[in-house]
Amino acid sequence: MTHRLEGKVALVTGAGSGIGRATALALAREGARVVAAGRRTGPLEETARMAAERGGQVVAHAADVTKEGDVEALVRFTLETFGRLDIGVNAAGGTFGGGPTHTLDTSCFREWIDGYLVSAFLSTKHEVGAMLKSGGGSVINIGTFVGYTKAMPGTSGYAAAKTGLIGLTRTVAAEYAPHGIRANVLVSGGADTPMFRSWNASEEQRSAAARLHALQRVANPEEIANAAVFLASGEASFVTGSVFTADGGLSLV
């Protein structure tokens, strides 16, 4: 532990598994006090337990971040529990239907937009509101290579949501830089998460996904979390409005 984030308070959405969980644990490892948010209480409590075993402080709070009332309550809980908010990491999402664009149901497309873009908008909106009171902060929205560095058939909803996230984040960076608030997108390559395994069920599929990367493997979630810690820390004090890529060289291949 280097305690780079000692005294900081972080809110992480999607913290019940995958990159969100790994990021909550990494922030706690560096001394931040963390609120772990997501839909299901059980996985969030497991994240909190894992942090406690490692000497970190994580508090679980269930919320559906596609609903503004839930997000308002979540940020209010964070302020009531820890008194401030310095770091917001928005990693919430889900897996919805897919397929070729001409067959994709509009309701399914909207699920992708709600799950990944609207949720990030609502989280960012209320995190920034709290950070204005704290004198600054760092917002990190978790992006993906899908639709950004590589177009993948059958993913139009996911790609639209995640590339929209880039425009949202860069606008927020421009709006709030005068207030000491930084905002960046962290674009991940393939990472060994439950979502990755649901999309790549067989060993053959996972091996093919690994070969898309120059490093010939996908990331551990902790490797993406380490990049998030950097963006949250003072070491990235001059980094805002960036699309920060941790993709194992996927964009090179």
Query: Catalytic positions, please?
Result: 158
Please state, as a whole number, how many other Cβ atoms lie within 10 Å of the Cβ of residue 207: 12
Residue 21: closest CA among 233, 224, 232, 187: 224
CA dihedral for 123, 125, 126, 130, sign (positive or negative): positive
Token pair for 163: 């590339």
Rounded to whole angstroms, the Cα distance separating 20 from 187 reads: 13
User: Which residues pair with residue 143 across a beta bridge?
Assistant: 187
Cβ atoms of residues 98 and 112 within 8 Å: no
Please state, as a whole number, how many other Cβ atoms lie within 10 Å of the Cβ of residue 201: 9
Residue 27 carries which DSSP code?
A: H
User: Which residues pair with residue 184 across a beta bridge?
Assistant: 140
The number of CA neighbours under 13 Å toward the Cβ of 170 is 10
Q: Cα separations (Å) of 186 from 111, 144, 170, 202?
A: 22, 8, 12, 27
Classify 156 as helix, strand or coil: helix
Classify 74 as helix, strand or coil: helix
